[in-house]
Structure 1
Amino acid sequence: MNCYFDRSLAAQYKSVSQKIRVMTEAWVTENIACPRCWGSRLAHLPQNTPLGDFSCPPCGSQYELKSKRGKVGRKIVGGSYDKCIERVMSNDNPDWLVMSYDAAELCVEDLWFVPKHFFVPEIIERRKPLSEHAKRKGWIGCNILFDEIPAQGRIALVSGRIPAARSDVERRVKLAEKLYTGNLGARGWLMDVLACVNKIRDERFTLGEMYAFEPELQVRHPGNNNVRAKIRQQLQLLRDRGLLEFEGRGVYVKKARG
Structure 2
Amino acid sequence: MTVVKGDRRIQWVAGSAVVLALLFAGAATVASARDDGTDHAAAPAPRTPAVESADAGFARDMAVHHQQAVEMSFIVRDRTKDEEVRRLAYDIANTQANQRGMMLGWLDLWELPKAPAGQEPMAWMAAGHEGHTMDGMAGMGAGYRAHDGSLMPGMATRTELDRLRTANGKKAEILYLQLMTDHHKGGIDMARGCARLCTVKVEKRLAQGMVEAQQSEVDMMARMLAARGAKPRS
> TM-score when scaled to structure 2?
0.31
Structure with greater helix share of residues = 2
Greater length-normalized contact order (CA 8 Å, ≥ 6 residues apart): 2
Larger of the two Rg values belongs to structure: 1
Structure with greater strand share of residues = 1
> TM-score when scaled to structure 1?
0.29
